[in-house]
Structure 1
Amino acid sequence: YNDLLSQLCRAVYIFLNVNKISYIDCPISILAGEHLTDNFKNNINRFQKLPCIIDDNDFKLSESVAILRYLCEKYTIPDHWYPRNDLTKRSKIDEYLEWQHHARLGCVLYVQNTLFKPLRGINIPENVVKRSKVNMEIALDDIENIWLANHTKFLFVDQITIADLLAVCEVEQTKMTGYNPYVGRPNLKKYMESVRELINPIYDKAHEKCFKFIQNTKL
């Protein structure tokens, strides 16, 4: 269950498709509030959030990080995504996954306050928008100056992991508002290009909705 306007849904979507894991796609419209119905709450996800999955024997799971870890354990996929037998590498990935909440809070609040809430007719005070922008830029600067400080191709040297999917989808959404996350962040720009090049055309397919918003902000 997903809406590809959600950066977390896009990360799971990309992982499933890159690794050729079969699934039934169940699109849900966040803007239409389809995840807020009683049917969704009672039968799909009690938290009424996306993404979520229903797997074998009616096993239900929500939260993108939990879903990605579950898929890594269940299916035979390349070990670099989330190493099973290397505690050190896996722990470094986990470190980012825990830190990711800082990036998500900063980026998603800015996108909501400048794009999605106004689309629903909700007026956001200017001081709230400015504060959310500051928090977003702190998160982006941390990715630029801390996580990518060694100028590596991916977050963890030379192989992509589930952490990279969450990171790039988080950053990509900021462009929907007309914001350019690459200004003053050359490491971030190079990094985003590396990930996109590796997993295209799936990357672009996952971001079609985002790209439409980005194009509209340029008109």
Structure 2
Amino acid sequence: MTLKLYFDFLSQPSRALFIFLKLNKIPFEACSVALRNGVHLTDEFKTKFNRFQKVPFIHDREFKLSESVAIIRYLAREYNLDNKWYPKDSKKQAQVDEYLEWQHNNTRAFCALYFQKKWLFPLLTGEPPVPEQLQKFEDNMISTFNNIENIWLADTPFLSGNEVSVADIFAACEIEQPRIAGFEPRQGRPKLAAWLDRVRNEANPYYDEAHTILNKMAKKGGQAKL
């Protein structure tokens, strides 16, 4: 086995890549990186593992690659994937890529910022969030959820059409994250809630495996500890 995935299950794209690899039966060595211990911030980690000092990333023999969407496309080429998760058909692939590009300044950005400002940074610093700032982050996140509810899922059961794809995995992993901070994305959004259930069913048992820690923390209603 030559492919190594470095990840932390509290990282949204880490979960997405883990699920994608499992679903596509791509053999890999799972290398857990405990971000809470700060090992990724050392000079040794930067030199030896990942110059950006973040997860996820992969080592494929001597080849190193970060950025989760780039990794998906690399794996699709290297393993000659042609299925619903990342199709070769030009138009179907473009529809998947449309969401993967859109997410950077929407789902990915706003869910992560809300989670960080509401839960992570206060936990690390002991300082509560500024209410006015937190409300701005929450409003942006809610706007993204509404766009997924009313635009992306307006006419199709999945983000890129009638079949599930890696776009749905990436989106679902991001949308699950605010639950740790006590925010429930499903509330008042029946299409989004039903879609999350469909994605989970399509991606199980690996979806539940990747979200085991998150689900335990979410049950504590924003009172979870690292």
Give the TM-score normalised by structure 2.
0.91
CA distance in 1, matches of 2:43, 2:132: 35
Q: List aligned pairs for 1:83-122, cutoff 5 A.
A: 83-84=87-88, 86-101=89-104, 102-122=106-126
Name the counterpart of 1:193.
Answer: 197
Which residue identity is paired with 1:166? F
Confirm whether residue 67 of structure 1 aligns to residue 71 of structure 2. Answer: yes
**How do residues 107-186 of structure 1 correspond to structure 2 at under 5 angstroms?**
107-123=111-127, 124-150=129-155, 152-186=156-190
Q: In structure 2, how many angstroms separate the alpha carbons of the residues matched to 1:36 and 1:137? A: 32
Q: 1:11 aligns with which of 4, 10, 16?
A: 16
Q: 1:97-155 deviations in whole A, cap 9, x for unaligned?
A: 111111111100101111111111242212111111011111111111110011x2221
Q: Alignment partner for residue 32 of structure 2, among 27, 34, 48?
A: 27
Which of 204, 210, 215 is equivalent to 2:214?
Answer: 210
Deviations 1:66-110 (A, max 9, x none): 1111111111434222222x2211111111111111111110010
In structure 2, give the amino acid aligned to 1:29: A
Where do residues 44-83 of structure 1 align in structure 2 (5 Å cutoff)?
A: 44-56=49-61, 58-83=62-87
Q: Which whole-Å deviations, capped at 9, do the CAs of 1:186-213 have from their partners, x for residues lacking one?
A: 1100100001011211111000111111
**Contact 1:72-1:81 at 8 Å conserved across structures:** no
**Cα distance change on mapping 1:24 and 1:77 into 2, 3 Å:** same
Q: Distance in 2 between matches of 1:82 and 1:23?
A: 18
The structure 1 segments of at least 4 consecutive aligned residues displaced by more than 3 Å after TM superposition are none
Match of 2:3 in 1: none
CA contact (8 A) 1:83 1:89 kept: yes
Mapped contact 2:179–2:222 kept (Cα < 8 A): no
Mapped to 1, the partners of 2:199 and 2:180 lie a distance apart of 19
Gapped regions of structure 1 (runs ≥ 5): none
Matched, 1:40 2:35: no
SS state of the match for residue 105, structure 1? Answer: helix
Q: Which protein is richer in helix relative to its size?
A: 1
SS for the counterpart of 1:79 is coil
Q: Give the CA deviation at 1:32.
A: 1.7
Q: What is the total number of aligned residue pairs between the two structures?
A: 216
Instruction: Report the CA distance between 1:46 and its aligned residue.
Output: 0.6
Contact 2:85 2:164 in 1 (8 A): yes
Contact preservation (8 Å) 2:14, 2:56: yes
Q: TM-score, normalised by structure 1?
A: 0.94
